[in-house]
Structure 1
């Protein structure tokens, strides 16, 4: 079975139907990612099977824990090479997606990629979450905020929860060991308006690793003091 058909079957197991056109978009995404990765550092994962499993399929896992078909707007904080925002946009064309990253070179690549893939309602932003989380039109404006970044959950919460409206969700995409992070993040989540953590563990196909998707519903407005100025959440996490 070729890799595109494999992705179609795996997506179907998540309740996602991928058309031939969407599979072509994933194939082009892979080609552009590997091509650009030769001149700038976008990902350490470049083998086709690994990209399809650890980036594409991994991104689509969000559909197993959040009703994406009922969501209209998503912001991907620290999007990097576009994960999970672009795979979700390909699979769910109705979404309005904002891709936010602090490195301008990555944002330029994403803007070019969005044009090539002919994706509409996608905004690529060069900036920091601490600044954009205070802006009108972005603060508490999204159904879903997600991050696959390496920061700890208490830091990610300060980056992401200010973007989410009350009743929306923040999903942190984490690796295998999250118990301590969840414990450390309780104060931050409570202070920022988040609810309890729903932990959804997954094992990637072909023994490619374990993932935890941590889903936090937004229960109350984030106080005006948050997010703090750029750099502060990472240097002085809420504990």
Structure 2
């Protein structure tokens, strides 16, 4: 797909890109697909599915209201999604990509360096451990995660990183209403409130994806997040 074709393709989803951003995004796709021969960054390697399920899906997160210099933490970034596409779309924001697999992070770091991105930073380790460190707890204006874990689990892992008034953006599938219903206790304990739900269709099909926006409106007890085993065994 050419740069112009990609720009027009994104417009169909309401995503506005300039030619430089489009070129960087396509370059990121090419680099990830190439690197994928050495390390498994994604199971999606065909061009159109990659564009739709990785690039477009990431870019649909609306961070327009955040001020320049705002810091965003992407938890469980894997192959760099949604962190890197959003960093390209929002060069005025600072993105911190966290993943427990250092080898994947190193590969993504090599790619972003090659692309000349200067607003992407990397954190190797576990979210529940970083969340207890004062340099990270309640320090971010936004947190993103496309993780496949249940929403109550994600809320406990992600909300402690947010400043008061900050938002957690979570990508979910067609069962999102059930997950939100199961998360009422977690939302209460973690002082979270669902402020927006953005729905879209992947590959212009009936495959529903939503981005749930949860705003933090209070301090979270220091005991959260608990260790991952406990969170998984006994979600809030």
Q: Provide the TM-score with structure 1 as the length reference.
A: 0.91
Cα shift readout 1:126-150 (whole Å, capped 9, x = no counterpart): 1111011111221111111010000
Partner of 1:67: 64
Partner of 1:128: 126
Partner of 1:153: 151
* C-alpha distance in 2 between matches for 1:200 and 1:19: 23
Partner of 1:190: 188
Q: Is 1:43 equivalent to 2:54 in the alignment? A: no
Partner of 1:31: 30
* C-alpha distance in 2 between matches for 1:157 and 1:103: 21
Of 36-45 and 103-112, deviating more is 36-45
* C-alpha distance in 1 between matches for 2:195 and 2:183: 9
Partner of 1:5: 4
- Tell me if the contact between 1:171 and 1:214 (Cα under 8 Å) persists in the aligned partners: yes
Partner of 2:80: 82
1:155/1:58 CA distance change after superposition, 3 Å: same
1:36/1:61 CA distance change after superposition, 3 Å: same
Partner of 1:104: 102
What are the equivalent positions in structure 2 for 1:86-235 lying under 5 Å apart?
86-196=84-194, 198-207=196-205, 209-235=207-233
1:207/1:134 CA distance change after superposition, 3 Å: same
* C-alpha distance in 2 between matches for 1:153 and 1:224: 20
* C-alpha distance in 1 between matches for 2:140 and 2:206: 31
Root-mean-square deviation over aligned CA pairs:
1.9
Of 123-132 and 17-26, deviating more is 17-26
Count of residues paired in the alignment: 235
* C-alpha distance in 2 between matches for 1:183 and 1:67: 28
* C-alpha distance in 1 between matches for 2:133 and 2:203: 40
Shift of 1:74: 0.7
Of 69-78 and 99-108, deviating more is 69-78
Higher share in helix:
1
* C-alpha distance in 2 between matches for 1:7 and 1:164: 33
* C-alpha distance in 2 between matches for 1:220 and 1:105: 36
1:76/1:160 CA distance change after superposition, 3 Å: same
Q: Which runs of 5+ in 2 are unaligned?
A: none
Q: Provide the TM-score with structure 2 as the length reference.
A: 0.92
Q: Which runs of 5+ in 1 are unaligned?
A: none
SS, match of residue 231 in structure 1? helix
- Tell me if the contact between 2:73 and 2:140 (Cα under 8 Å) persists in the aligned partners: yes
Cα shift readout 1:80-134 (whole Å, capped 9, x = no counterpart): 1011110000011011100000111111111111211111132111111101111
* C-alpha distance in 2 between matches for 1:197 and 1:188: 15
- Tell me if the contact between 2:7 and 2:19 (Cα under 8 Å) persists in the aligned partners: no
Shift of 1:209: 2.3
* C-alpha distance in 2 between matches for 1:35 and 1:13: 28
